[in-house]
Amino acid sequence: MDIRPECNDDINSIERVIIEAFKNHPHSNQTEHEIVAKLRNDNPLSVSLVAEVNNVIIGHIAFSKVNISGEFIEWYGLAPVSVEPEYQNQGVGSQLILSGLKAIRELNGKGCVLLGEPEYYNRFGFKAFSGLVFKGVPPEYFQSLLLSGDMPNGNVEYHKAFA
Ligand SMILES: CC(C)(COP(=O)(O)OP(=O)(O)OC[C@H]1O[C@@H](n2cnc3c(N)ncnc32)[C@H](O)[C@@H]1OP(=O)(O)O)[C@@H](O)C(=O)NCCC(=O)NCCS
């Protein structure tokens, strides 16, 4: 399996993988592919990686800038991450997350937030942190990973594509 940045020719395959991955997801309204398209069009898609097997895209991960207390302080949001159902539970998601975090570090990212199952994301070091607040969700599902510097405090806002 290869993991590499997306290119223009990947856009339809990425859309297909995201739709397939979230098809039966209980907390999804199946708009994740539209969010990624909007992020790409508005240009805040900071990192977008694909996982490929035999030249077929089977996974995707996106990271975009977030504001904390109204300011971009080099923190990013991980969302969404998608793996084609028949390739799930084989480490593809983990490799996408680890490669994505490496790319965020290379952008000099200071940290990353996400909304997701603590049981899955704790293994990458993500933890709920009471100082970083994302309104409207149970706090244990909003998790942060500090990459450098001090942990900031404040309300976190994603790009308007997530609205
Ligand atoms: C979540 C997802 C990206 C994980 O990718 P993956 O390649 O299947 O996961 P990995 O093979 O890296 O890891 C498998 C492990 O994660 C666990 N896991 C997967 N999804 C999980 C979830 N939603 N909640 C808790 N644990 C989960 C598996 O139980 C397995 O645990 P184990 O290592 O203890 O056996 C993938 O399952 C997916 O695309 N799901 C649908 C879309 C989604 O929910 N995206 C995340 C929200 S943005």
d(CA 64, CA 83): 19
Highest CATH level, class, for 2-162? alpha beta
In this structure, which residue's CA is closest to atom 28 in ligand 1?
Answer: 89
Neighbours of 67 (CB within 10 A): 16
131-157: b (≥16 Cβ within 10 Å) or e:
ebbbeeeeeeebbbbbbeeeebeeebb
CA of 71 from ligand 1 middle (Å) equals 31
Q: What does the pLDDT look like over 137-147, one tens digit per residue? A: 999 999 999 99
Q: What does the pLDDT look like over 16-29, one tens digit per residue? A: 999 999 999 988 99
CA of 117 from ligand 1 middle (Å) equals 9
d(CA 25, CA 36): 17
**pLDDT recorded at residue 131:** 96
pLDDT of 123 above 90: yes
Q: What does the pLDDT look like over 72-107, one tens digit per residue? A: 999 999 999 999 999 999 999 999 999 999 999 999
Question: Of 67, 84, 93, which is closest to residue 20 (Cα–Cα)?
Answer: 84
